[in-house]
Structure 1
Amino acid sequence: MARLLLLPMLAVTLPAEASEAPETCATAWVQCGGTGWTGPTCCDSGFSCSQMNSWYSHCVPKESIPEQTQPVSLAASEMVDDECYHMFSELSFNTLVQSFPANPDSEAKAYVDCKLCSRSGMQCTANVFGGRTQLVASHIHLASDGDGENGSGPPVINFCGDNGPGMIADGSSYKSPCAHYKNRAAVMSMTGNFVDGQNAGFTLGSRLKDIASNPSKYYFNFHSIASWTHWQVEGKGPVGMCRGVMQMSQRRLGSVLV
């Protein structure tokens, strides 16, 4: 007869899964990051991990971290005080002021477009046509009687011109010579130069502001060798070949057109 053997059951206790221990955070001023760092990457309450460089970060009080601000372009900050004015002038031979017998430039006309800035420079482009003799100077003049249409007065800003002996000199140089005619047209880009001797009591900024505020007092004038020779002999000074009142187009403060 077979016997049934009863074996006692053994209770087997399986080890519980190991739970992850909470990460220990770094305390004040202790390293919390950086290339190759294997230690804690968090900080105690009230502190933040601040990167000093790619190799080292440490815990600093949250209130000591400066708020990030948008970087300001140096060029933009420098332009804050740069007053710019966009102006133009339509020039023609003035029969009341500039006429003389057998004038070879009596059909001269021009268009001038200018951007006049107190700090970043004064630039004008011009297209002069219809004249026949070489251009020797150009300026913005202030009419002494306030009449830019027919009055006359000293140059306050020089543009193109001839710095040679015997030419029109006002104490300040011309930055570049005037262009020569090609097919009876002279197209050029000119840089302005403040005439110190004719701007007593004015800075460049205040003069440009006055031109923009009172454009009818000012006129742009081109001089030719024919007109300069004739009026020099007459003893009347540089009257000019063709001229036009300054007119306002746009005003720009800094980088904003208004």
Structure 2
Amino acid sequence: MAKAASYALPTRRAHVMGILNVTPDSFSDGGRFSAADVALEHAKSMIAEGADLLDVGAESTRPGSTPVELDEEWARLAPILEPVIDLGIPVSIDTYKAEIARRAGSAGAALVNDVWGLQKDPAMADTVAELGLPVVMMHNRDEADAGIDILADIDRFFEISMSLADRAGIPRDKQILDPGFGFGKTIDQNFIILNRLETLKKHGLPILAGASRKRMIGAVLGVETDERLFGSMAVHITAIQNGASIIRVHDVRPHADCVRMLEATRLERNPA
């Protein structure tokens, strides 16, 4: 078995996180990669295309999705997790369940990605601290509310998440914030967040942006999910320019190329 790769937060260019869904009902690619052999080949392809890390999830978090019991989630993950980890790239576990995070961390996962920002499972913060892993704390809401100040709501949510992380003993240099594009937000609120993403840097933590193929793109362009690549790239380029350190994407190669070009522009030279 290969030694599991650890994850170091970005210090120079933005990182590209490739999405590997092993679910039958993901909004974008549900069922396509649920077979272990197919999922493994897709993971290899994303690595070859330039992914810096992979985010493996076994429960859809799309609006209206059916919650998955812990044993079912692990049954989906178990056949694929260690083979993907053995590929030698840092692997993130996309879960809000502490026990799933614990099992994945024990198997060699390098990062925990919690779509409820440590606030859904009371054991999650302590579990992440015990594992010694970095954690993505994403802002979420049960439902969208057009009447709220979404940036203020995100700030309040993050203060709670950071407090939970601090009390559990998760170092600040292992905490990452994700504003949660598409999660409990109106279309307009998503664009407010994107345009003012830099304001979240006041918390002093890296920012992850994940808008790949989401409804905010379809609403503007009038295209179906599988036709949202160019819109996804536009959103993620904007996010990087506004302060994002990690972008979470389905289509790795085009985004990896964008990141390299942005870095060359920033440096005013070829970074290779």
Asked whether the two chains share a fold, i.e. TM above 0.5, the reply is no
More helix per residue? 2
Q: Give the structure with the higher percent strand.
A: 1
Q: Give the TM-score category using the shorter length.
A: under 0.3
Structure index of larger Rg: 1
The TM-score, its normalising length taken from structure 1, stands at: 0.23
